[in-house]
Amino acid sequence: MITIIIGQAGCGKTTYVKNTFAIGNGIYNTIPIKHTLYGNNLLIGDYVSDKRCLGTDTLAYNVLPKIIEFIKDNCQKFNIVAEGDRINNKKFFEEISSFNVAAEVVVLTCSLEESIKRLRQNGSKITEKFVKATRTKTLNNKELCKKLNLKIIEKEV
């Protein structure tokens, strides 16, 4: 199973992954990309460090091809979990839909005001304009995922 979590900036994607999939002690590795193993759940990114930015926010912006290859190589052995803006794009969803493995897309939503509040509480200077852009991108990719026959799960957070 591949579980992908998307949503606008500040909606709680990393927190959702930590609370849902990061159960127990994680084993962190950086080769070939940053990832954390919790039992049979293989989380893309760093979920063990004690810092504000976790998950795929710890990865370089140009890492998408490596993420796709890593998921392809491991999706038959582990439950893969990926979240964040770095994977919220057409190429990623098209590739995942071709892997012949069950995949679901969890779309997290909250108000613009709530996102800004959470971001400011965490010291982020992300602008309202950026949050709106990530919201639009998420809604567009949700529609793309429907066309690709990926299972959509919507959650208000």
b/e sequence 82-91, b meaning 16+ C-beta within 10 Å: bbbbbbbeee
What average pLDDT does the segment 26-31 reach?
A: 93
Match 């509040």 to its residue by tokens.
Answer: 117
| pTM metric for this prediction | 0.93
Q: Where are the domains of the chain?
A: 2-156
Edge to edge, the sheet with strand 79-83 lists 27-29, 35-38, 41-44, 79-83, 2-7, 103-109, 151-156
pLDDT digits (tens, 9 = 90+) for 70-94: 999 999 999 999 999 889 999 999 9
To the question of domain 2-156 being in CATH 3.40.190.10, the answer is: no
Contact 29, 17 (CB under 8 A): no
Cα angle: 123, vertex 126, 132; to 5 degrees: 135
